[in-house]
Structure 1
Amino acid sequence: MSCPDILPEHVLSLLKTSKYVHLATCSKPECIPSIALMNYTYIPPSKVYVKEGEIGEPIERKHYIIIATQKDTAKYENIRQNPQVSILIHDWVTAKKLSLRKNSMSNTPTPEPQRSQDADHPSRLLNLLQELNQSELSQMSATMRGYAECIDPSHEEAKYYEAELLKANPDAAVFIQGNNIAVVKIELESAKVSDRENNTSFYD
């Protein structure tokens, strides 16, 4: 799988630095969809688990998303029944900064309107809304399809990826470690990337 090798650098950067992804799964045979916000870590080919004593195949440049989920959840059962999943990722940083600014402004006392200035200057709220629209539209979003596999918890591979997941999400140990939690690796297979002009590119 070489699909992510040709993804835009912005998307690869998001995979490496973002905190969350949206994970979509679907049951079989009922085809009931489910979506969840997940902590994750991105595993490029250079960090893919290789069994001790073995040499990884350089041709197989596989890219993975690693997640952990409780076994008594819909997404876990869905993955067991139907390993085909989708992942949505986008830039949360801009939205977070704008949200903080919005809250800050909402707590600021509103001065009495001045007729002489209102005619020439848009309100602060209007400026914020304009900036919000421009900032949100300036970002890319990527939807990636993949194949999910629950890793045998007794296997060293599960321990390896659990450690990588904890390293990327040290504040989420309660969601990553435990007897009722499964480590899941998702091999990325294809992607659809959209930009602010509603242009869409496909990679598979």
Structure 2
Amino acid sequence: MDQIALNHEASAGDTHKQLVSSLPPEVVQCLENARFLHLATCTDNQPHVSLMNYTYIPSSQFSSAPVIVMTTNPSSKKTNNLVVNPNVSLLVHDWVSHRPPTQGRRMSGGSPGPEHRSSLASLLLNLNTSAISSISATINGTAELVARGSEEESFYRSQHLENNTFDSEGVVGAFNGGGGEQLPEDGGRECFVAGEEVRVILVHIKDIRTSDWKGSVKDWVLASEGNAPNVNGAR
């Protein structure tokens, strides 16, 4: 069923949520295209946001519903937060977020002005600023730390490790967990994913809000045992 995009006033509420049995295709595409997401946790009214590697798993022997897998240092702030409050929010988007230069804006870090850029740099910049993407998605759900040493943890860790294996050229300058640490040439896999002390986070999706660059907003609730079937607009 096609869903009508919300206007700016309606987008502030949640009266147009639709109940769905699976993630909308555009959300799946977004999750499959992006490499990082922002994880928001909160305790005592103090929000905390981390930049995370992740793996989207549509279904498995451990969950028939889609889940999002991440790994974390057990002593990190986000770990402490989600133990106290498992409600989390994720932001993921499949467009390039490089900011194009604006007239009169002073470039930082010695970045060359337009007149000094190579043809390749100009091409990449044009790609970055063009509408080559579709949506951003805010995903709300609950997070859990998978039991240490369990078969479930081993499965999700291996899937996450396989999904985040990049060559050295692809990881230079990348960051993990919002801590500002530059990753080594293996992408930090050994310390951030495969390390024995690293805990596996599993996020169970509750609802999704998408928006595009035109400001169109859509809301969905993913059907599960914990979600009531009488969501407004569901059919």
Instruction: Please indicate, yes or no, whether the TM-score normalized by the shorter chain is above 0.5.
Output: yes
Q: 1:4 to 1:73 in 2, by over 3 A?
A: farther
Match of 1:200 among 217, 226, 233: 217
What is the number of equivalent residue pairs in this alignment?
166
1:26 aligns with 2:26: no
1:17 aligns with 2:33: yes
Distance 2:41 2:99 in 1: 30
Distance 1:181 1:83 in 2: 18
* Structure 1 residue matching 2:90: 3-state secondary structure: strand
Give 1:197 shift: 2.2
Per-residue deviation, residues 4-25 of structure 1 (Å, max 9, x unmatched): 7242x23211212321111000
Match of 2:139 among 121, 125, 144: 144
Unpaired segments ≥5 residues, structure 1 = 51-55, 110-124
Give TM-score, length-normalised by structure 2: 0.62
* Structure 2 residue matching 1:201: 3-state secondary structure: strand
Q: 1:148 to 1:3 in 2, by over 3 A?
A: farther
Question: Aligned AA for 2:202?
Answer: K
1:81 aligns with 2:84: yes
Question: Aligned AA for 2:50?
Answer: A
Question: Aligned AA for 1:16?
Answer: E
Instruction: Say if 1:4 and 1:12, in contact at 8 Å, map to a contact too.
Output: no
Q: 1:104 to 1:176 in 2, by over 3 A?
A: farther
1:177 aligns with 2:191: no
Instruction: Say if 1:3 and 1:191, in contact at 8 Å, map to a contact too.
Output: no
After the TM superposition, which parts of structure 1 deviate over 4 Å for at least 4 consecutive aligned residues?
96-99, 102-106
Distance 2:131 2:20 in 1: 28
Per-residue deviation, residues 45-64 of structure 1 (Å, max 9, x unmatched): 2xx234xxxxx7xxxx4110
Distance 1:36 1:181 in 2: 16
Q: 1:184 to 1:75 in 2, by over 3 A?
A: same
Could you say what the CA RMSD is over the residues aligned between the two structures, in angstroms? 3.0
Q: Percent identity?
A: 28
